[in-house]
Structure 1
Amino acid sequence: MLSSFVKLLVSDAERSARFYEALGFKRMHAEPPFIHLRWENQAEVYLVAVPSAVALEGRRGVGVLLGFRIGATGLNEVAERARAHGAGVEGPTVQPWYTREIIVTDPDGYRLNFIEPV
């Protein structure tokens, strides 16, 4: 288990898990209400199903980018996979800090920032 992780409240945990797995995340464990995913042995994400009686209102993660370093799965491949699943993709953009980055929006509106060095 890695020392840092993020928990995301999602409206449909299985739909979100399928989306993240399509990008290249690996499902580690699932026990409602959590689905534990891992990105290339670097980062962990817990998708947390919100009870059906609770409505998620408003935009998710306003002002927050969840950053993931590119490893075995290339930046272009992640972008193609995201587009194939109907996700919005911004970039790639070359940043002044010597990285090439894309931002992918997940089904609940969270913004995922995939980063590779140039």
Structure 2
Amino acid sequence: MTEPTLDTGITTDLYPMPAFLTIEASNLERTVDFFVNGLDFVSLFTLPGPDGGPMLVHLRRWRYQDILVRRGDPQPGTGWSISFAAEAEELPALALQAPGTVDGPTDTPWNTRDLTVTDPDGYRIVFTARRPAGERDEAFSDEIRRLAAEQAGNGAPGESRGAGRP
């Protein structure tokens, strides 16, 4: 099966991301523009917030080079985190053994369960897992698939428009 791609050759398929960067941005549009127009990333989809404005933008350059940009109020030296894929079942034990400040595991509006550990320098390391079956908001999952396909302009998920990058 061929992966869906944009005209740029960037794959638009939705896959579990083994690691990705999350950035809080005081001006989401400016930050997205920086990555899209300055660093050749593409916007896969935008998740609208309760006020209708963008809450989260998923950017990608190549396969497994994903950045999630969230609306936020970053403070100097903060406003970013690195996220690693995890299994929901491992998060409680990891929370008990983790050094530093621990937050979670907590469920997010985007169907993940996250454990955040802050190291001594204030960097946030997030272990993020897909919520277990039966605990997911399936309507939300359907909406993300619809938004991704609509905003990528390539029709339904699974349709292909060319060869993908690595």
Normalization by structure 1: what TM-score?
0.43
Q: Determine which structure has the larger strand proportion and give its number.
A: 1
Q: Determine which structure has the larger helix proportion and give its number.
A: 2
Q: In terms of Rg, which structure is larger?
A: 2
Q: Which has the higher contact order (CA 8 A, sep 6+)?
A: 2
Normalization by structure 2: what TM-score?
0.32
